[in-house]
Amino acid sequence: MRYLPHTPADRRAMLAAIGVPSVDSLYRDVPASVPQKPRFDLPDHQSELAVERALTALAEKNVAAGAVPSFLGAGAYRHHVPAAVDHLIQRGEFLTSYTPYQPEVSQGTLQYLYEFQTLVADLFGMEIANASMYDGATATAEAALMARRVTRRNRIVLSGGLHPQYRDVTTTSFKHLEASVVALPPDPSGGERAVDAIDGETACVVVQYPDMFGRIADLTALASACHAKGALLVVAVSEVVALGLIEPPGAMGADIVAAEGRSLGNALNFGGPYLGLFATRERFVRQMPGRVVGETVDVDGRRGWVLTLSTREQHIRREKATSNICTNSGLCALAFTIHAALLGADGLARLAALNHAHAVRLAERLARIAGVRVVTEAFFNEFTVVLPKPAVPVVEALAARGVLGGVPLARLYPEVPSFADRLLVAATETNTEADMDRFAALLAEVLQ
């Protein structure tokens, strides 16, 4: 077996050094009635070539989004990742290291995490950020849990514009805590009055920006209303590229930003692994979940980095920890950091402008199709359209014609019948004018 170094002679010599006749005797603490070495209905070992063949055959049964015009978003946006990113994250010193528990031999990881924390805080206009969470949905749930700790209040208000999976993960996370989660109904028209849902028991309002339906709206008034009642404003972001072009949540009064950071540096990966971002105000740092890297010096006075403030964390505080998170999304954070370093402020602004322009042009094209209405007025790279027919079969018909034409809201909101004819459409820098023409033409054809 190619990954196992021992020869039979090595094993014999080692058993002799241990003083036992066989490996079986090392398992003598396993109760005798427990079967050992059962026969499995599983294949035996295979060559690299054989495994590659088998899994490549499975991969080829999928339609890669990059192989066809693709306009899917809903929390996962397809972007071009520069070749340098994937090259660098595959360096073994990054890929095959553990969490930086021994800082003297982990300065590479610690330094990039410190850069990552700075990039994330700056992107959102916040003061500090942690070293990552699992994904945008779990980061949002953790933000609501943190708001409960900070305010010592037990009522969480979720805007109807929050991604329904972020909503569900948050609701599930609160299921067994003495707290209530109030989820406002989804309202693509923008008529929601989250302000009216805040009372003196409210720990936070969680609102998404841009929201689930693609809308962007000023959050300043909502932040003020939260603060007037002693509540926090949590802003969830599922498309970080937007922040290259629109005001950051921190500038509008957000107290915590929880985001999906996968758009930078990372592939779509069918939904995982993704990258949870978590940013907040300095004064809340001791209630923040997750790992955090801080600057310090070594005994020679040279600058260096360490994991810090670990008295918040499970390995020290156990049941009193701010979260149970241990393994996070380190390598995805590295990919984000490298992509961000390549882009710089100018590059991100340009990338965002390109996304927005493509989305505007796509919206114009789709609005010209008979019976199709674009219902999102202000948006970044995604918007909602109303079709004259149920969206699910339309999307199936488009897929059969070689276009991945958006996400039917019915897939995410099966409980809302009035969403049956709504389609969520995204455009990024990866979509060409020809892609958009083809999508519009095929949609018109399918709708006839």
Ligand X SMILES: Cc1ncc(COP(=O)(O)O)c(C=O)c1O
Q: Interface residues for ligand X in 311-350 (CB under 6 A)?
A: 326-327
| Residue number, 47 or 327, with CB nearest to ligand X | 327
102 is a contact residue toward ligand X (CB under 6 A): no
CB of 99 to ligand X, least distance (A): 8
CB of 10 to another protein, least distance (A): 4
Only one of the segments 200-208, 222-230, 298-306, 437-445 lies at the binding site for another protein (rule: CB under 8 A); that segment is: 298-306
Closest among 308, 269, 271 to 288, alpha carbons compared: 308
**Sequence-distant (≥ 6) Cβ neighbours of residue 286 within 8 angstroms:** 309, 312
Closest among 341, 379, 365, 446 to 245, alpha carbons compared: 379
CB of 98 to ligand X, least distance (A): 9
CB of 327 to ligand X, least distance (A): 3
Radius of gyration of the chain (CA): 25
**Sequence-distant (≥ 6) Cβ neighbours of residue 289 within 8 angstroms:** 130, 133, 142, 145, 146, 278, 312, 322, 323, 325
- The rounded distance, in Å, linking the Cα atoms of 323 and 314 is 7
293 is a contact residue toward another protein (CB under 8 A): yes
The one-character DSSP state at 73 is -
Stretch 12-51 residues interacting with another protein (CB under 8 A): 13-15, 17-20, 23, 25-31, 33-38, 40-46, 48, 50-51
CB of 17 to another protein, least distance (A): 5
Stretch 251-280 residues interacting with another protein (CB under 8 A): 251, 260, 267-274
193 interface partner picked from another protein, ligand X, none, CB below 5 to 8 A per type: none
Q: Contact with another protein (CB under 8 A): which of 61, 152, 191, 193? A: 61
**Sequence-distant (≥ 6) Cβ neighbours of residue 408 within 8 angstroms:** 390, 391, 392, 394, 395, 420, 422, 423, 424
Only one of the segments 151-159, 200-208, 216-224, 440-448 lies at the binding site for another protein (rule: CB under 8 A); that segment is: 216-224
Length of the chain in terms of residues written: 448
CA distances, 383 to each of 118, 215, 357 (Å): 30, 7, 13
Only one of the segments 197-205, 224-232, 333-341, 439-447 lies at the binding site for another protein (rule: CB under 8 A); that segment is: 333-341
Tokens encoding 115: 């850069």
Stretch 118-157 residues interacting with another protein (CB under 8 A): 118-119, 121-123, 125, 127-129, 131-132, 134-138
221 interface partner picked from ligand X, another protein, none, CB below 5 to 8 A per type: none
Q: Residue 227 CB: number of other CB atoms within 10 A?
A: 14
Stretch 67-86 residues interacting with another protein (CB under 8 A): 67, 70, 72, 74-76, 78, 82, 84, 86
Q: Contact with another protein (CB under 8 A): which of 278, 336, 380, 439? A: 380
| Helix 433-447 and helix 391-400, axial crossing angle in degrees, nearest 10 | 120
- The rounded distance, in Å, linking the Cα atoms of 406 and 385 is 10
State whether the Cα torsion 405-411-413-416 is positive or negative: positive
Asked if 218 and 252 count as a contact pair (C-beta separation under 8 A), the reply is yes
Stretch 388-407 residues interacting with another protein (CB under 8 A): 395-396, 399, 404, 407
| Residue number, 96 or 327, with CB nearest to ligand X | 327
CB of 274 to ligand X, least distance (A): 16
| Residue number, 229 or 287, with CB nearest to another protein | 287
Q: Give the footprint of ligand X on this chain (CB under 6 A).
A: 326-327
